[in-house]
Structure 1
Amino acid sequence: MKLFYSAASPFVRKARIVSIEKGIDDQIELFTSEREKRLDELGPDNPILKVPTLIDDDGEAWFDSPVICEYLDSLVPEPKLFPKNGMTRWQALRMQAIGDGGMDDAVKLAYEAARKPGSRSPYWLGRWRQAVDGALNILNSEVVSLSERLSIGPIAVGCFLGFLDQSRVIGDWRAYREDLALWYEDFAARPSMQNTVLKRK
């Protein structure tokens, strides 16, 4: 399999963590894909030109990260990162949605903050910051559910928090969120997290 990636993408990191936790990371070749080259590299397979994009052994393209992660989870029975049914599944997917949503807004916030001062939008900076803070607050209040079992939910949340550490886009997110900070300290020590630390651009 081939995984097209950017070293700074938290969504790519999520897919890589799943492959490590499933024990199949050695079956995936990594190909870096920068924005200016994606039309040529990904255009024939992925019309939205985003990473991660996974090409399986049959040449089928899978995207975006939730689809890639569930596909990888289906290849090996255990550990099951996407529960099959019941409230356990919905809780895992809900946590994934919070983690992914937080990542999406944090990435947008980082791009906007990197623009020249006169080109930045105060409205969008405020809007995305509010969304990131909202995601952090709800995660802090529901941190017990993150500790129940390893699933795609905690993985997505871990990637969200890791991106905040890497980008420093909102400063110290741990302030007033001690429970979430303690959970992340333990989760970030997992080998799959340690082996996929994001690189600064």
Structure 2
Amino acid sequence: MKLISSGTSPFVRKVLVLLNETGQLDEVELVTAATTPYDTAPKVASANPIGKIPALIRAEGPAIYDSRVICRYLDDRARAGLYPDGRLWETLTLEATADGIMEAAVLMVYEHKMRPGEAFVEAWVDAQWAKVERAVGALNARWMSHLRGPLDMGQIAVGCALAYLDFRHDDRGWRKGNDALDDWFAVFAQRDSMVATRPH
């Protein structure tokens, strides 16, 4: 298998953490691609017509894409149980919440990097951060018992989302007022799979 990836994408990191946790990393070749919303790399477009990463190229079928699809596939392949039947909908909702945080945070980066000065819209950036704040607050208020439970894909996704906030938006201080989540993340970030996948 080949994973079309980028070293700083939180969505790619989510897949890499799963690969580390399930012992499948050696079975996947990482193929790095530099792509932007304005200029889709050919190798990305050939694997995913939407032009986003990650995409997973498989020998036994067509490429699959979207990190949630890839993670579900790899979890099923390894029979790892990271989408447990007993709390499946909670796990999927938690993963979706984390993905929403990552999407908003990535859009903030693109707004700064891709638009010329006169086209930059500060209100757009602030609106994306408002989504992040609401989601992080919800995690802290409603999801701590789940996050403290047995490892699942929801936890992995949240860990990658919070790590991306530290990586790209540390100055905005997501930890303020979210002490329980901060404490949880301080421990989760030290997992071997998280340490091994830190962006450079």
Identify whether the pair has TM-score above 0.5, normalized to the shorter chain: yes
Deviates most, 165-174 or 189-198: 165-174
- Residue of structure 2 in register with 1:95 after alignment: 94
Normalized per residue, which structure has more helix?
A: 2
1:1-201 equivalences in 2 (<5 Å): 1-35=1-35, 38-78=40-80, 80-83=81-84, 85-86=85-86, 88-114=87-113, 115-141=115-141, 142-168=143-169, 171-199=172-200
Deviates most, 134-143 or 64-73: 134-143
3-state SS of 2:172 partner: coil
3-state SS of 1:43 partner: helix
Q: Which runs of 5+ in 2 are unaligned?
A: none
The normalised TM-score by structure 1 is 0.91
Deviates most, 123-132 or 183-192: 123-132
The normalised TM-score by structure 2 is 0.92
3-state SS of 2:52 partner: coil
Partners of 2:23 and 2:16 in 1: how far apart?
11
Q: Which runs of 5+ in 1 are unaligned?
A: none
Partners of 2:7 and 2:138 in 1: how far apart?
28
Given that residues 129 and 170 in structure 1 are in contact (C-alpha distance below 8 angstroms), is that contact kept between their aligned partners in structure 2?
A: no
Partners of 2:171 and 2:71 in 1: how far apart?
27
Given that residues 109 and 169 in structure 1 are in contact (C-alpha distance below 8 angstroms), is that contact kept between their aligned partners in structure 2?
A: no
The alpha carbon displacement at 1:127 in A equals: 1.1
**Alignment length, in residue pairs?**
196
Given that residues 35 and 44 in structure 2 are in contact (C-alpha distance below 8 angstroms), is that contact kept between their aligned partners in structure 1?
A: no
Partners of 1:40 and 1:120 in 2: how far apart?
28
